Amino acid sequence: MSENNAKHVNVLDHGYVRLNDVMGSDLTVANSARVSYAKASAELTDRDRRLIAFLAREGHTSPFRHAIAQFEIHAPLMVARQWWKYNVGSAHQEGTGDSLDAWNESSRRYVTEEPVFYVPGADEWRSKPENSKQGSGANLPGYEGEFYTRRLFEIIDECEEMYENAMSIGIAPEQARLFLPAYGMYVRWYWTASLQSVCHFLAQRLAEDSQAEIQAYAKAILTLIEPHFPVAVGELMPKGER
């Protein structure tokens, strides 16, 4: 993973996270809490920092939902589908029944750009863990990794050839896409989320037992969002996860 600039971080082989827009700051969080008393700060003070720490510690999360960020993400489908459940789950936070979060994804019913696939390098294939039904264990030996990387490239090439053939004879794109390997194919979407939702995602997906690929995206999100909300992110994130 490499950072190109303050708004874009490359992830995996062809992926990236881009910060498109931000609404609010740490001061937004503090003032959203103080509106109950018809008070507001003009600039962030130590008192505001203590208030943000109190809100995070005591679980008073609504002020953190007044700060919003929008990201553009390009990631393998297996990452996108893990990520999607946070968008759905946010609708039920604190029993609100509604959500400020939004997700809009490109579709191969309409988009016919060249497909891109995530292929682990020969040294990136992981074994299954010994004591868990999910997650990963140690990396496979290099010679085994080389075999599976080569075979995956071959399978993708064959599937892309079938996809292009189907498109060329006039099969509808929404059916032609069935020939493309799904889980490794890159998809692109916009994710707009409250600061609370972003930090909830980070707290879970930066954990050591999270899938390595989505961990890489979580690190990119943290790199991009933390400079805008250094106090709030520091208080909402579990200690040791940053």
H helix or E strand, kind and range, residue 19: strand 15-23
205 included as an active-site residue: yes
* Contact present, 30 and 63 (Cβ < 8 Å): yes
* Contact present, 229 and 120 (Cβ < 8 Å): no
Q: Would you call 5 exposed, middle or buried from its count of C-beta atoms within 10 A (0-12, 13-18, 19+)?
A: exposed
**Structure-token pair, residue 82:** 């893990």
First-residue to last-residue Cα distance in the chain: 16
Residue 13's CB: how many other CB atoms inside 10 A?
14
* Contact present, 22 and 228 (Cβ < 8 Å): yes
What three-state secondary structure class fits 69?
strand
Kindly name the residue from 108, 109, 205, 242 that is annotated as catalytic: 205
Distance (Å, whole) CA 120 – CA 145: 9
- Compute the half-sphere exposure of residue 188: CA atoms within 13 Å on the CB side of its CA: 13
Strand order across the 15-23 sheet: 2-5, 8-11, 15-23, 68-76, 186-194, 102-105
* Contact present, 228 and 201 (Cβ < 8 Å): no
Query: Which are the catalytic amino acids?
Result: 205
